[in-house]
Amino acid sequence: MEAAGAELCTARLRLRPWSTRRDDLARLLDLYGRDEVTRWLGGRPSVTPVELVARWAAVSASGARAGVWAVEVSGTGVVAGTVLLKPLPGGVGEVEVGWHLHPDCWGHGYATEAARAVIDRGFAAGLPEVYAVVRPGNAPSLAVCRRLAMEPLGRMRRWYDVELEVFRLMAPAVVD
């Protein structure tokens, strides 16, 4: 079984654990300090970047069905943002996929490509389904859900105590 937090590569991206290196921490501060990003996340993180990296490492260490990765553009070293596959709060084994990209990397398809990679990893590890939760009005993230062929389930207030658009993608059926 693949190690928790292991790197994943796609045609254009390298997904790797966030680190406490100066350049990673600076990018985290820049990314999560931007209103155009955090307005869709419910606000800025309440912890320092070092604490955030530690929390994400703990998610990644919880097993092959979860992780949080820096999305790095191959060949450039530019960190486009974050992709995550983690348990939903208060859920019963429900897992969400999410993406937070820096505005300078919007519009290149990186969110869809990174999300597809971690979803495929989760399905390979035995996840039966994956959810995405999106704040109403976040048209770019709603478009990512559509490109991932996720089924819209409507608006719910189930996990984050705020009304969100909920999407689900079921694992492909295994044919013997």
Is the confidence at residue 2, as pLDDT, over 60?
no
pLDDT, tens digit (0-9, with 9 covering 90-100), for 21-46: 999 999 999 999 999 999 999 889 99
Residue with tokens 């990893």: 121
- Per-residue pLDDT, 176: 60
| Amino acid 54: pLDDT | 95
24 vs 174: which has the higher pLDDT:
24
| Encoded tokens for 125 | 């590890």
pLDDT in tens, 108-156: 999 999 999 999 999 999 999 999 999 999 999 999 999 999 999 999 9
| Long-range CB contacts for residues 63-68, cutoff 8 Å, separation at least 24 | 63/4, 63/125, 64/1, 64/2, 64/3, 64/4, 64/121, 64/125, 65/95, 65/122, 65/125, 65/126, 65/127, 66/4, 66/95, 66/122, 67/4, 67/5, 67/17, 67/118, 67/121, 68/17, 68/18
Q: Does domain 8-170 have CATH number 3.40.50.300?
A: no
Q: Which pLDDT does position 64 carry in this prediction?
A: 79
Please say if the pLDDT value at position 4 is more than 50. no
Q: How many residues does the chain have?
A: 176
What does R_g of the chain's alpha carbons equal in angstroms?
15
Domain range list for the chain = 8-170
